[in-house]
Amino acid sequence: MKENHEPSDVEDYLTCISESSYLMHNFSDRLNAAIRSKKTPALVGLDPRFDWLPAEIVSAAEAKHSSKADIVAAAFEEFCFRMIDVVAPLVPAVKPQAAFFEEWGPAGCAALQRVIKKAREAGLVVICDAKRGDIGSTAEAYARGYLAGADPESAIWAADCLTVNPYLGSDTLEPFVKVAVERGAGIYVLVRTSNPGAGTFQDRQTDGHTLYECVAAVVNDLALNTTGEGNYGAIGAVVGATYPEELSQLRALMPHAPLLVPGYGSQGAGAGDVAGAFDTEGLGAIINSSRGINFAIRKAPYSEKYAPEEWEQAVEAATHDMIADLAEHTPAGNLQ
């Protein structure tokens, strides 16, 4: 370990980290241990929508609070707490969407903090989906605020991991990588997203390579430099399930980057579409479903099997169905 050295970039910084201390809490090692323990790469997004919440939760919040912001924040918190109680025994990780909480100001942000804390206490890996991105001290402030990593007390938001927008360039990523390595946290960098308009920018070509391929190359280099005991690093990529051929291509281009794959379920992708994200052991990717799990009670077959007040049973059933679907149609079956 070098002394009296101020790192000028990520690579220099990584040489300053004690390898033994880093390997003890490497993000990918912790995530893969959780995936192996639960025998599934299923990830449940926590995306509360006030108009879709169970009536009992809304009524309880209205009985305790008068302002709309406080009512919504309290309802979101109870809903997510109960979601966590249902899914914690079943899946390795959850992904709260920060925007739904931030919309409601201080009350919503405080609820998000408590939801993350609750999930960590339940033994879940927490990926905070906030898509932050900036440079210099501002990016570092985002990183230090969100990324607690191995020790939940290391950051006010206490997340294991954070989604990051790389649009400003490689110096957007450097502060996040530094904090992630320091704390045993991780980041997922937006590479190929699942939204219909993704190609407007991401498909643009320079010197024969698309923008998303250029970002993927940077991500894989960072991942390679942050590997723990396994093959995967602390720096991962968000790659949408709605582009299955490109998902397989990007798995090959980023062999050391763990993948966060949105788009399964409500966005239209099935288990077969995400099969290319995995290695032969069923590792290397975590597959997200948010609305399809959170509000399973709103659609068949769960709406036909359960009464509205049995929404938690619908959540549990939908989670089991997702786990079984991934096990049957992807290499995740090798985890069983």
Q: How confident is the model at residue 242 (pLDDT cuts 50, 70, 90)?
A: confident
Angle of the 211-224 helix axis to the 244-253 helix axis, nearest 10: 40
Q: How confident is the model at residue 100 (pLDDT cuts 50, 70, 90)?
A: very high
Tell me which residue range forms the domain holding 38.
7-330
Domain assignment present for residue 241? The answer is: yes
Q: pLDDT: is 25 or 121 the higher one?
A: 121
pLDDT at residue number 166:
96
Question: How many domains in the chain?
Answer: 1
Domain assignment present for residue 336? The answer is: no
Q: How confident is the model at residue 2 (pLDDT cuts 50, 70, 90)?
A: very low
The mean of the pLDDT values for the chain is: 92
Helix (H) or strand (E) holding 69: helix 68-87
Across 47-195, the runs of DSSP E, i.e. the strands, are 93-96, 125-132, 161-164, 186-192
Instruction: Assign residue 66 the CATH number of its domain.
Output: 3.20.20.70
pLDDT at residue number 25:
84
Domain assignment present for residue 135? The answer is: yes
Domain assignment present for residue 134? The answer is: yes
Percent with pLDDT over 70 in the chain: 92
Helix (H) or strand (E) holding 43: strand 42-46
Mean pLDDT value across residues 57-75: 98
Percent with pLDDT over 90 in the chain: 86
Domain assignment present for residue 1? The answer is: no
How far is the first Cα of the chain from the last one, in angstroms, to the nearest whole number? 40
Q: Distance (Å, rounded) from C-alpha 255 to C-alpha 266?
A: 28
Catalytically annotated residues: 131
Best CA proximity match to 27, nearest among 203, 150, 210, 155: 150
Domain assignment present for residue 335? The answer is: no
